Chains A and B, each alone.
Chain A
Amino acid sequence: MPPSDLIQIRGLNSFYDSRQVLFDVRFEILRHQVTVIMGVSGCGKTTLFRHLTGLKRTGPSEILVDGQDLGMFSETQLRTYRRRIGVLFQSGALFNSMSLRENISVPLKVHTNLAAETIRIMSIMKLNMVGLSTFSDYMPSQLSGGMRKRAGLARALAMDPEVLFVDEPSSGLDPITAAGLDRLLLDLRETLGMTVVVVTHELESAFKIADRIVVMDNGRVMAAGTPEFIRNSTDPRVRQFLNREADTQQVNLDSYYRCLLEEER
């Protein structure tokens, strides 16, 4: 059975005050696939991420989840949507006053009626998935950045979400740990049928795990398709991104001076 659309982004525009950061973004996130959203820093990936996780308000008919308009969700509907998703933030976003095990047990305690011992066991199991079961009683401040990120992933998986959103999973990680995380994301898709959405600018990681890649630049989607399609793209900006070429555009001195003087005023 061909994969179906789980989330459709149909003409998403986003603003911070009067500054537009996303321009008519359109693509689909398919069920049981790994979708990677790539682009240079400041292209709008994180803003898009915040829209998809419901942290930034979306306009009507801009994002559809299973055919329902995310922008028109009531508080209850938004809460129901969030119970279907897991989110790993770039820094891990662990609660500093709790141990790793306590961090993972937070959603289990709030959303389930499981006994304390069952929650404890499930928390250890989730930590085991990311290779941190021996650190269950450690506080986040006692761990390295990579370990905090893995613990954050364990917490994102606590409620066995249908969709996993991951923001810059490899940033700050050594190649071996990053490769381990990539393997884990693929395992989640293969064994649990999870839909995974990854925001990253790491090319190697993206092509390794993605079923679909969306390349963004300056708030716009430049290309969207399979890794093969992206690799063969003739769009100059996509090629520049894939070939890791620096910008070579010449600075217009007149506009540069005007910009400096306006700043000073």
Chain B
Amino acid sequence: MTRMVEAIGAFGLKKVSSAGRLGMFLLYTLRGIIYPPEKFWPVVKQIEFIGPKSFFVIGFTAAFTGMVLGLQGYYTLSQFGSESMLGSAVAISLVRELGPVLSALMVTGRAGSAITAEIGIMRIEEQIDALECMAIDPYSYIVTPKFLACLIAFPLLSAFCNVIGILGGYLIGVQQLGVSEGAFWDGVNSSVVWKDVYMGMVKSVCFSGLMIWICTYKGFYAGMDEGSFGPEQVSRATTDAVVLSSISILISDYVITSILL
């Protein structure tokens, strides 16, 4: 009985300690914005890794999502004789919801896992210790450029996802299923208002912050929370980062939607 209480207490303390470390990690990362070294080119390099190199996976996902939306939307709307609303349905679904969420999940899987692995390997090979011993703030040098790059790249990727998704819906709805082209684009134009775009952008910024915070934290402290060592540190950290980021994105999606709607 005593051992069980001790175990619960130890578990609780460990989780509280991790939560504190997570919070301090964010503070050090934000502080790194004003700390040396100079950030411009490192941020550009990270934007290039997170942004353009994700175009293919985002585009692919967005195209097929738009096509499925077009297909499903057409058959649902045709039951009410409202096929002409297909453009509105596809556009609003993507701009408000699917664009930010799907692009966030895809980038988490692609770039987030790579970032966690990269930083995790730096941790196990003592490269982060080497930076500290060179009096270089590792948060400022490694984490902050990725953080800033993600905040810049995510909304752009989300917008890209929206455009490709709408085109995918157009392809199926108009070209294949015969919805009026004018009605489709008129629906897109009239139904998507600033509030929808704003909601999508707020979501993508929040998702990017959450993803990069979790992925860089997991890599930076690889093994410390999981109690693993060596290459297993990195693999567990990467898995946990992707899972935790995805769950956080989905939960925050609900919270943001309920606030902004």
Contact = CB atoms under 8 A, between A and B. Distances in A.
A82 B133 contact: yes
A158 to B, nearest CB: 8
A93 B132 contact: no
B37 A83 contact: no
Interface residues of A, number: 26
Given A96-B121, A109-B37, A110-B36, A89 B135 contact: no
B133 A91 contact: no
A93 B37 contact: no
A107 B134 contact: yes
A95 B127 contact: yes
A106 B130 CA distance: 11
Contacts of B226: none
A168 B127 CA distance: 16
A64 interface: no
Nearest to B133: A87
Given A96-B121, A110-B36, A89 B132 contact: no
Interface string B106-146: 00000000000000011001110110111110000100000
A87 B130 contact: yes
A93 B141 CA distance: 16
Contact of B126 (A86, A91, A111): A91
A91 B125 contact: yes
A122 to B, nearest CB: 15
B69 to A, nearest CB: 40
A93 B134 CA distance: 12
Interface in A88-134: 89-91, 93-96, 106-107, 109-111
Given A96-B121, A110-B37, A82 B127 contact: no
Contacts of B121: 96
B37 A82 contact: no
B125 A93 contact: yes
Contacts of A54: 132-133
Contacts, number: 53
A183 interface: no
Contact of A111 (B125, B129, B135, B141): B135
B134 A55 contact: no
Contact of A93 (B130, B135, B136): B130
B127 A93 contact: yes
B126 A82 contact: no
Contacts of B134: 82, 87, 106-107, 110, 155, 159
Contacts of A165: 133
Given A110-B36, A110-B37, A83 B129 contact: no
Given A93-B126, A110-B36, A110-B37, A53 B135 contact: no
7 contacts: A80-B135, A91-B126, A96-B127, A106-B136, A107-B135, A110-B37, A155-B130
Interface of B: 36-37, 121-122, 125-127, 129-130, 132-136, 141
Interface of A: 53-55, 79-80, 82-83, 85-87, 89-91, 93-96, 106-107, 109-111, 152, 155, 159, 165
